[in-house]
Chain A
Amino acid sequence: MAEITNNQPNIATIGDDYATKYGFRDPEDYFHKGARGLNHEVVEMISRMKKEPDWMRQFRHDALDIYLAKPMPTWGNTELLNSIDFENIYYYIKPTEFQSTNWDDVPENIKNTFNKLGIPEAEQKFLAGVTAQYESEVVYHSFQADLERQGVIFLDMDSGLREHPDIVKKYFATVIPPHDNKFAALNSAVWSGGSFIYVPPGLDVKIPLQAYFRINAENMGQFERTLIIADRGSRVHYIEGCTAPVYSTDSLHSAVVELIALDDAYIRYTTIQNWSHNIFNLVTKRAMAHKNATVEWVDGNIGSRLTMKFPCIYLVGEGAKGEILSVAFAGNGQHQDAGAKVIHVAPKTSSRITSKSISKAGGRASYRGLVKVYPKAENCKISVECDALLIDGASRSDTYPTMEIDADNVRVEHEARVSKVAEEQLFYLTSRGLTEDEARLLIVNGFIEPFTKELPMEYAVELNRLIELEMEGSVG
């Protein structure tokens, strides 16, 4: 643990914050920016601009009807949810006319944005493929040629639909149908961008693929849609990151992510969510794990005003495994309503959920979880562990786990702990010459270490840096 502080500057000397590092904004010079609000004309316009097949156009219209008919959720932070002004949102903004495969072709200000965020640098260093989404569309996409030759498909979702209509039609919305929930319906109606990945049988994509999502405009609604299919025995790791400028009014991010791990396949999906504090982040993520497949969600939530996100794994094939590792950091004015769901449908499946949350300066972190075992899913093993750390008395931590067991020979273990940073630990560290700030940061870093150790090294360093920013001046 000690080397983390050695590598990093003293908390007190850190001058920049989210606003300068991530929260800057670009002037708007867009190819197309529609009107605010949502209706069937907006949906029709999106579909026409994308020149979509008829089935997708119809799918969108049907989804919009479902969205309009569904009431807002009556659970969770209804106060914040109901404060969203859906009529004030831009549902589709196309920043550039064409997608580029070379950073030089990306408009200057957008390129600068991604440069500041370090995307081209990361691409060179440790990624096999990158998509960069700006507002509603992917503006940059690249992918290693040898993987492409081996049959791996990595495209933005719109291109995926154009170039591989059969695969998309076969799997799209099969994991998360529009009627699943109100925000899945919304996404289904107005989705744009996101990633489409197909890994052929037996192929191991050893280097991660990444997508980066950026919202720039005020009152923007970003609705990317991601579909990942890992065919039999294949392996893939996908990473997403997201940031936005700081505005005084709210923007909305409502993604749908569907993962399908066929027999013996392996998918890891890593998220570092760092939206600005004016973003409502209402995301539906779900995976299907077939026979002996493994799906892992590694989900870090640091930003946003309200996040409601409960990555889910359906274990539908015998011997399938699921793991969800989640970290939430709730600062002033934030509510991280995060969690995990595992649904055991097949026998001999196993799952593990590890949730870590940190609440600070009046922030609220909730763990909301579901473990469900259907009657035929005998001989399952499930373990859930939730740890919450409260940095001060103004903050709040909730744990809302649900366990529904309807099969024989199932073992479930659930444990949760809520604590504050122990005085003894602080004293021990300060007695070794650390400042209280440094000591607290060290303890927090140690607390989330099970999460950071699962991240690629560069992301772990970045996450620790983010935590450091959020922890700044927490003594008081």
Chain B
Amino acid sequence: MITDTIDFRKTAKNEPEWLYKLRRDSWSAYHDSPLPDRVVHLWRYTPPEQFLINDPHDAMTAAIPMPKGNGHKIKTLTEVQAALGYNLSDMTTLTQLTPELSEQGVRFLDLATAIETGAGPVQEYLGKLISSDFGKFEAANMALWNIGFYLYIPDNVVIEKPIYLNRIPTGTNTMTRLLVVAGKNSQATLIDNYRDQAESAAGQFNSIIEIFADDHSRLRYVGLQDFSEKITGYITQRSRIGNQTDLLTVQSILGGTVSKVNTGTILDGRGGNSRIYGLLFGDNNQHFDLHTLHNHRSHEAYSNIDVKVVLKDKATSAYTGLIRIEEKTVNNEAYQENRNLLLNHGPKAESIPELEILSDEVRCTHGATMGPLDPDMIFYLKSRGIDYKQAVRMIVSGFFEPTLKNIPDDLHDAVNGIILDKLEKH
């Protein structure tokens, strides 16, 4: 048995028995399951082989052993931040949280430490939205993760300022997790920033995000993936929201050579509101694969998906989305829109926005468009004295603007800057 070749007791020696068992079972699930079926839309456009774990031992050991924080641009918490965390390439995690929030019972720390010290509830949440049955590569993460964040927000705690997470590859197989448990009436904004560094090796980055948002909470999650083209990214996110709960999920996918992102919200409570915004800009030979899910399991909930894709050069993108309204639910509204802008010769886009509606008390629409830059828009701007390049910049920035205006200003400008840089290249 290959499980025997990985001694989870040794690699994660302070972990409790339940986690040891979870890792072992997950490894079996990963190892024994076939590659995903390419017939299903989720895998139709991205070959799964590239996400196989070449070296499971590597996933559990640091790539660049170095003293804590050394070589990384670690910043200290500023006035505009509620918390700041780093997952570093040496597998250390640095977290900072304002004392006030700490006093109010907020916990923000390394996931393994949270388990070890019992800093907050973990066992009843970890892997409950994304279990090892979810998929082969999710099982791999559950078996091998060795770095991650844990955020716990008690009931009624409102965190006004954003929490910033910085995630950096730990080696050729990074396996990281984020677990967010947000109590009733709580509020928070998370900025989850994926980057690599000059010294990072080429490799795979596998990240699992589980968000539990209890009744009446309001959360914003903003993912910003800006890897270099050395990195193959695999990100799976699931959120579960309760009654009258409001969740905004933004996935900005800009970097990496191949990036497969699966994001979804389970609307489990009456009157829930979930919006998922995707923002993808591909150039060169980048390949993006984004899947979104909105699963309405309760009543009177609202969901909206807005995925915008800009491609240039030989970049390719596949968007698949599913809205599923379960039986015997009433008065749900679900919307989905996917717009693709194909800038110059060569890019290729696929779009599969799917609906499965098992209840008639529903309003549901979706739309998808694909096309080049509108020459009439260009002419309109040129006729006002704006040159072609500037006109293209304005139209592309404008294309993303309705999405970007939902994220904090500093990030808004950063993302827009990355987009304009990519636009300028070549």
Contact = CB atoms under 8 A, between A and B. Distances in A.
Would A and B touch once assembled, by the CB under 8 A criterion?
yes
Contacts of A74: 37, 39
A7 B350 CA distance: 47
Contact of A399 (B327, B342, B354): B354
B362 A408 contact: no
Interface of A: 74-75, 388, 390-393, 395-406, 408-420
Contacts of B350: 402-405
Given A405-B342, A405-B350, A390 B372 contact: no
Contacts of B328: 393
Contacts of B357: 388, 390, 396-398, 418
Nearest to B343: A408
Contact of B365 (A406, A409, A415): A415
B367 A420 contact: no
B356 interface: yes
9 contacts: A396-B358, A405-B348, A406-B348, A408-B345, A409-B372, A412-B369, A414-B367, A419-B362, A420-B360
Contacts of B77: none
A365 to B, nearest CB: 10
B377 to A, nearest CB: 13
B223 interface: no
Contact of A396 (B342, B349, B356, B365): B356
A290 to B, nearest CB: 26
A395 B360 contact: yes
Interface in B185-199: none
Given A412-B370, A414-B368, 11 more contacts: A397-B355, A404-B350, A405-B342, A408-B342, A408-B345, A409-B371, A410-B371, A413-B367, A414-B367, A414-B369, A419-B362
A75 B26 CA distance: 28
A417 B364 contact: yes
Contacts of A406: 348
A400 B360 contact: no
Contact of B370 (A388, A401, A403, A418): A403
B353 interface: yes
Interface string B334-356: 00000010100100111111111
B370 A411 contact: yes
B372 A408 contact: yes
A399 B366 contact: yes
Contacts of B367: 413-416
Contacts of B360: 390-393, 395, 420
B57 interface: no
A388 B37 CA distance: 29
Contacts of B37: 74
Contact of A402 (B342, B352, B364): B352
Interface string B67-109: 0000000000000000000000000000000000000000000
Given A398-B357, A400-B354, A413 B39 contact: no
Nearest to B319: A403
Nearest to B364: A418
B349 A405 contact: yes
Contacts of A405: 340, 342, 348-350, 370
B361 A416 contact: no
Interface string B380-418: 000000000000000000000000000000000000000
A399 B351 CA distance: 13
A401 B368 contact: yes
A410 B370 contact: yes
Closest 5 CB pairs of A and B: A390-B360, A399-B355, A420-B360, A418-B364, A414-B368
Nearest to B373: A409
Nearest to B334: A418
Contacts of A398: 354-357
Contacts of A408: 342, 345, 372
A401 B365 contact: no
A393 B370 contact: no
Contacts of B363: 418-419
Nearest to A372: B350
Nearest to A365: B357
Contacts of A392: 360
Nearest to B328: A393
Contacts of B40: 75
Contacts of B361: 393, 420
B353 A401 contact: yes
Nearest to A408: B345
A164 B366 CA distance: 49
